[in-house]
């Protein structure tokens, strides 16, 4: 998973649900084994796939306790050599994700521990993330957060039909499924023309990385099984707004390989699976318009897909209504973003147009401290604000709400406005006599009681504040 902006990264949590429960410490022997297997994978490929060897520097980080192990010395974090690995503590003020990171201006691949206990699945993830440290050499310098239209019922239906056709094309000697897959894709592009570019870019960014993981991580038998799992799992995902490329990338990449014609030209910045597949399988684009949707859709399990997507759409609309009220209308806490580090689960993004996207699992580090939300946070489309539900508990440096908690940096406070809550950094002005009313708002949040005790305490406190300000 590639950093989205200078300091935005994406956490893969639900997308790796096959992993065991997170361990308190890293198994050094298993980590060393995975590093060795990754070295063997790199040497076996020797740059054949992309014209460059996958980058070597890699660290596994446990998000539970920030412990890490690396496959090379890492002096910036005082890593100590321990047998065949180097161990240390990752800085707690930095985000942990499956991503590429710069450490002392040197690119490293970071993978969250634990990895799958199945070696080939671990290698898939390692190769995927390592690709992101290679992609600049391939001209890939793009980042797409999500493609909201892929949560529409019709878009999801057409995408799932397309993936079923691609899988059949890959494991048959018949070119008709190739044509059908492209037909379903063309229908989706025609129906959502304004988002075609973003879909292609996401497929370049994440689809090629996932293709790399599948291509290098699995033998032929396991590859077929994992592709089937990928397709089946789409029906279980509440959102495809970011997840599509993880299925389409491997299928299109492997299908292009099967054509026997070269399709990697040293730079992949203009990668377009639709156009390349037309060319490599000698398909006339005009022939697609002659196909009849109602005649071919049944072959790809349309009735089951349609039934599942109708049910999901109803549930989704209800969830959007709930999030709109909870995060936008019912006096939310609004956080302005400045120097954000963001982690989220790409499989649980819910577009709430036109406001932004709800990330059902969300971690944010910025000027104010750290926010961890497990029941939804909305980030605006311009990435400048985050909304969470109204606070329910405020205690010194900790603020809590329904499913979220904020650990404030020293000198930061929450303010209760008429229609919202917000966070401010304390200054002398905040405590001037002219601002005592604003300070009282903070006080009323902290001491919310109907006994009158808070008024007595407030009167005493304000007296001493005024005396202090007068003396100063």
pLDDT digits 0-9 by tens, 381-424: 899 999 999 999 998 899 999 999 999 999 999 999 889 999 99
- Inter-helix orientation angle 245-258/208-217, to 10°: 60
Sign of the dihedral defined by the CA atoms of residues 326, 328, 330, 336, in that order: positive
Residue 196, pLDDT > 70, answer yes
Residue 373, pLDDT > 90, answer yes
CA distance 107 to 125: 17
| Whole-number pLDDT of residue 433 | 42
**Structure tokens belonging to residue 134:** 């290679």
pLDDT digits over 139-165, tens only? 998 778 789 899 999 999 999 999 999
| Whole-number pLDDT of residue 265 | 85
Q: For the chain, how far is it from start to end, CA to CA, in angstroms?
A: 53
The better pLDDT of the pair 1, 386 is held by 386
Q: By the 8 A CB rule, do 227 and 163 touch?
A: no
CB atoms within 10 A of CB 267: 12
| Whole-number pLDDT of residue 168 | 98
Name every residue whose Cβ is closer than 8 Å to that of residue 160 and which is 6 or more positions away in sequence: 231, 234, 235, 305, 309
**91-104 burial string, b = 16+ CB within 10 Å, else e?**
eeebbbbbbbbebe
What's the pTM?
0.83
Q: By the 8 A CB rule, do 412 and 426 touch?
A: yes
Residue 430, pLDDT > 60, answer no
| Whole-number pLDDT of residue 54 | 98
Long-range contacts of 116-119 (CB under 8 A, 24+ apart): 116/16, 116/18, 116/19, 117/20, 117/30, 118/18, 119/33, 119/34, 119/37
| Whole-number pLDDT of residue 345 | 81
Which ranges of 293-408 does DSSP label H, i.e. alpha helix? 293-296, 302-324
SS3 (DSSP) at 370: strand
pLDDT digits over 73-112, tens only? 999 999 999 999 999 999 988 888 899 999 999 999 999 9
Name every residue whose Cβ is closer than 8 Å to that of residue 354 and which is 6 or more positions away in sequence: 381
Q: Which helix (H) or strand (E) holds 166?
A: helix 153-170
pLDDT digits over 257-271, tens only? 999 999 998 789 999
CA distance 386 to 401: 14
Q: Which residue do the tokens 């000698």 mark?
A: 282
CB atoms within 10 A of CB 114: 20
C-alpha dihedral, 43 to 48 to 50 to 51, nearest 10°: 90
| Whole-number pLDDT of residue 150 | 94
**Structure tokens belonging to residue 183:** 């037909």
């Amino acid at each position: 998973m590639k950093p989205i902006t200078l300091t935005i990264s994406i956490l893969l949590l639900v997308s790796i649900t096959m992993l065991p429960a997170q361990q308190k410490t890293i198994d050094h022997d298993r980590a060393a084994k995975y590093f060795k297997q990754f070295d063997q994978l790199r040497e076996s490929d020797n740059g054949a796939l992309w014209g460059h060897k996958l980058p070597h520097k890699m660290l596994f980080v446990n998000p539970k306790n920030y412990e890490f192990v690396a496959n090379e010395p890492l002096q910036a974090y005082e890593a100590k050599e321990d047998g065949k690995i180097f161990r240390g503590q990752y800085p707690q003020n930095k985000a942990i994700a499956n991503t590429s990171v710069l450490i002392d201006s040197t690119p490293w691949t970071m993978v969250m521990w634990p990895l799958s206990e199945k070696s080939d699945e671990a290698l898939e993830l390692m190769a995927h993330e390592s690709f992101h440290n290679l992609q600049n050499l391939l001209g890939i310098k793009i980042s797409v957060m999500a493609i909201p239209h892929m949560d529409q019922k019709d878009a999801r239906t057409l995408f799932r039909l397309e993936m079923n056709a691609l899988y059949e094309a890959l494991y048959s000697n018949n070119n008709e499924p190739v044509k059908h897959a492209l037909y379903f894709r063309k229908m989706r592009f025609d129906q959502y023309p304004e988002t075609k570019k973003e879909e292609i870019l996401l497929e370049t960014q994440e689809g090629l990385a996932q293709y790399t993981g599948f291509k290098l991580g699995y033998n032929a038998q396991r590859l077929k099984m994992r592709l089937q799992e990928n397709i089946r799992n789409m029906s279980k995902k509440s959102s495809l707004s970011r997840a599509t490329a993880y299925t389409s990338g491997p299928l299109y990449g492997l299908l292009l390989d099967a054509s026997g014609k070269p399709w990697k030209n040293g730079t992949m910045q203009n990668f377009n699976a639709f156009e390349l597949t037309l060319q490599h399988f000698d398909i006339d684009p005009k022939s697609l318009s002659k196909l009849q949707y109602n005649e071919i859709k049944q072959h790809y399990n349309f009735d089951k897909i349609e039934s599942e997507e109708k049910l999901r759409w109803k549930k989704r609309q209800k969830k959007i209504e709930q999030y709109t009220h909870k995060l936008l209308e019912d006096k939310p806490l609004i956080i302005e973003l400045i120097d954000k580090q963001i982690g989220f689960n790409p499989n649980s993004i819910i577009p709430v147009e036109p406001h932004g996207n709800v990330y059902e699992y969300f971690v944010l580090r910025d000027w104010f401290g750290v926010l961890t939300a497990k029941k939804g946070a909305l980030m605006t489309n311009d990435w400048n604000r985050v909304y969470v539900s109204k606070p329910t508990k405020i205690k010194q440096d900790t603020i809590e709400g329904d499913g979220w908690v904020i650990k404030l940096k020293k000198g930061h406070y929450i303010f209760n406005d008429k229609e919202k809550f917000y966070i401010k950094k304390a200054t002398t002005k905040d405590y001037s006599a002219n601002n005592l009313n604003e300070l009282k708002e903070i006080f009323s949040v902290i001491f919310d009681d109907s006994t009158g005790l808070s008024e007595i305490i407030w009167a005493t406190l304000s007296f001493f504040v005024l005396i202090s300000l007068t003396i100063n």
